[in-house]
Amino acid sequence: MIAPTTRKDLMIVNMGPHHPSMHGVLRLIVTLDGEDVIDCEPILGYLHRGMEKIAENRTIIQYLPYVTRWDYLATMFTEAITVNGPEQLGNIQVPKRASYIRAIMLELSRIASHLLWLGPFMADIGAQTPFFYIFRERELIYDLFEAATGMRMMHNYFRIGGIAADLPHGWIDKCLDFCDYFLTGVAEYQKLITRNPIFLERVEGVGIIGGEEALNWGLSGPMLRASGIQWDLRKVDHYECYEEFDWEVQWQKEGDSLARYLVRISEMTESIKIIQQALEGIPGGPFENLEIRRFDRVKDTEWNDFEYRFISKKPSPTFELSKQELYVRVEAPKGELGIFLIGDQSVFPWRWKIRPPGFINLQILPQLVKRMKLADIMTILGSIDIIMGEVDR
């Protein structure tokens, strides 16, 4: 019997940058031998908007409306990290009520992000129904956001030392109703998807990452927890008021695409647990630290001079970032979202470096898809959960 020889004429295929399953403008140059992937090279930068340089030429208050454009599905987290940095630099205390409201908003945002991961991920591997289902719950979350912040996606809600506005009347009851309704929705997803033989065939044992490998690649979030490592910054860093709630870190040990799916599904129910506890125990009091409204402003700037008296738009209230450097991080739905910040005794940050979780998690993609089939690229890429806005910044 003649041993089968592989053909030498390999095919090079472009996947993206406008393929619907690429979740944005990601381009993969894939080298194929028949259906087998020999090599894969991701090409980034199609959505690069200079977010870091914009930050270095704006005060924090001016920059806040921009930040929701990094990861435009988990918008509250980008705002949280933007105000957490200056708060730690200036040692600003956040009122208890504001901290609880922030935690509620962050967890709602986490659920919205995971829902819009689940729908397209299922559509990528051939299941259309969940894609329509997830929008029901997601719309309800956006209704809650709209009632509290005035905007559905780009909220501009967090402020240094608190939040922009208190919760409106009746919002807490509406949110509790949503929590009860959403738990039935998650049960429905699990019934529909988790034991589905076609789904299991596509995801089980595909894209396996070991625990040590995940650490060496610097992965974070569900990618890391699906590989058997119980690491969640909400437990590690104790930011906001998460240590006051009773909840568990969700993890799996298999490290494949199915494990990543299971981690995200169970994270949504844990988020509901946190939200319910926060709503039940939300304290009264102020929602913003008004002390910092008396910002240590530069006395008598040139903008107040005689020449400038007819300029109607005066600079927004701001405070100086002290001359030190700082790295702050939060547990975003996709992993560790961090900012490296250098103050320079000026109102603008001297350096503003974003550490996006999607960008770091995407590094492992070429290694995961080698020696797999072409169809598995979609499964693996979908299970990583990237948003090109934060990958390219």
- Does some domain include residue 227? yes
Domain-embedded: residue 255: yes
Question: Strand, coil or helix: what is 47?
Answer: coil
Q: What angle, 0 to 180 degrees and rounded to 10, lies between the N-to-C axes of helices 96-124 and 129-149?
A: 160
State both tokens at 15.
């996947």
Q: Would residue 343 count as lying in a domain?
A: no
Tokens at 248, concatenated: 């568990």
Which ranges in the chain belong to alpha helices (H)?
A: 51-55, 60-67, 75-89, 96-124, 129-149, 171-193, 197-203, 211-216, 222-225, 233-236, 257-280, 357-362, 365-369, 374-384, 388-392
In this prediction, residue 307 carries a pLDDT of 65
How many domains are contained in the chain?
1
At residue 288, the pLDDT reads: 80
Q: Is the peptide bond before 95 cis (omega within 30 degrees of 0)?
A: no
Tokens 């995407």 locate to 362
Tally of residues, the chain: 393
In a domain, 294, yes or no: no
Question: Is residue 141, in this structure, part of any structural domain at all?
Answer: yes
Minimum mean pLDDT range among 7-16, 78-87, 137-146, 208-217: 7-16
Name the pLDDT band for 112 (thresholds 50, 70, 90). very high
pLDDT digits (tens, 9 = 90+) for 29-67: 999 888 888 999 999 888 898 898 998 888 888 888 889
In a domain, 179, yes or no: yes
Residue 170 structure tokens: 């009746």
Q: What is the pLDDT of residue 312?
A: 56
pLDDT band at 178 (very low <50, low <70, confident <90, very high): very high
Has residue 65 been placed in a domain? no
pLDDT digits (tens, 9 = 90+) for 256-270: 999 999 999 999 999
Could you tell me what percent of the chain has a pLDDT over 70?
Answer: 91
CATH code (residue 216): 1.10.645.10
pLDDT score at 295: 53
Dump pLDDT digits (tens) for 313-368.
555 556 778 888 999 999 999 999 999 999 888 888 899 999 999 899 999 999 99
What's the predicted TM-score (pTM) here? 0.89
pLDDT at 126 over 90: no
| Tokens 């959403």 -> residue | 182
Residue 375 lies in a domain: yes
E strand spans, 223-311: none
Tens of pLDDT, residues 279-308: 999 988 888 876 665 555 555 566 666 666
Q: What range defines the domain where residue 119 resides? A: 9-59+90-286+357-390
